Amino acid sequence: MTAGQAIATKDLTLSYGDTIIINELDLEIPKGEITVFIGGNGCGKSTLLRSIARLLKPKSGAVLLEGEAIAKLSTKDVARKMAILPQSPSAPEGLTVLQLVKQGRYPYQTWLKQWSTEDELKVRNALKATGMEELKDRTVDSLSGGQRQRAWIAMTLAQDTDTILLDEPTTYLDMTHQIEILDLLFELNEKEKRTIVMVLHDLNLSCRYAHNIVAIKDQKVFAQGKPEHVINCGLVKNVFGMECEVTIDPLFGTPLCIPYGKGRCIIKGQGFQG
Partner 1 sequence: MKKYYNLRLFGDKISFLVNRKALMTFLLLAVASAGVFVISTGTGEMKISPIKVVQVFFGGGSDMERLVIQSFRLPRIIVALMVGMALAAAGGILQGIIRNPLASPDIIGITGGASVAVVAFLAFFSDKNNALTVSINWMPLAAFAGAAIVAFLVYFLAYKDGVSPVRLVLIGIGLSSLMKAMTTLMMVFGPIYQASQANIWITGTVYGSNWDNVAILVPWTLVFLVLAYVLARNVNIQELGDDIAMGAGSTVQKYRFLLLMVSTALIGGAVAFGGGIGFVGLMAPHMARRLVGSAFGALLPASALIGGILVMAADLIGRTLFSPLEIPAGVFTASIGAPYFIYLLFKTRNA
Chain residues that interact with partner 1, rule: CB under 8 A: 50, 53-55, 75-80, 83-86, 89-96, 98-100, 102-104, 106-107, 109, 111-120, 137, 139, 155-156, 159
How far apart are the C-alpha atoms of 102 and 83, rounded to whole Å?
14
How far apart are the C-alpha atoms of 198 and 176, rounded to whole Å?
19
Give least dist CB 65 to partner 1, A: 13
Of the two residues 50 and 217, which places its CB atom closer to partner 1 in the complex? 50
Of the two residues 112 and 266, which places its CB atom closer to partner 1 in the complex? 112
Q: What number of residues does the chain have?
A: 274
Q: Is the dihedral of CA 215, 225, 29, 174 positive or negative?
A: negative
**Parallel, antiparallel, or unpaired for β 255-259 and 244-248?**
antiparallel
Of the two residues 106 and 252, which places its CB atom closer to partner 1 in the complex? 106
Q: Are 192 and 5 in contact (CB under 8 A)?
A: no
Query: Which residue type does 68 have?
Result: E
Give least dist CB 123 to partner 1, A: 9
Give least dist CB 73 to partner 1, A: 10
Cα dist from 106 to 77, 95, 128, 133, whole Å: 11, 16, 19, 20
How far apart are the C-alpha atoms of 141 and 199, rounded to whole Å?
25
Strand partners, 216: 221
Give least dist CB 91 to partner 1, A: 6
Of the two residues 99 and 219, which places its CB atom closer to partner 1 in the complex? 99
Give least dist CB 223 to partner 1, A: 28
Give least dist CB 85 to partner 1, A: 8
Of the two residues 156 and 170, which places its CB atom closer to partner 1 in the complex? 156
Give least dist CB 56 to partner 1, A: 10
Q: Are 184 and 85 in contact (CB under 8 A)?
A: no
Of the two residues 117 and 176, which places its CB atom closer to partner 1 in the complex? 117
Q: Is the dihedral of CA 197, 198, 199, 203 positive or negative?
A: negative
Of the two residues 49 and 64, which places its CB atom closer to partner 1 in the complex? 49
The phi and psi torsions of 48 (rounded to 5 degrees) equal -60, -45
Q: Are 155 and 100 in contact (CB under 8 A)?
A: yes
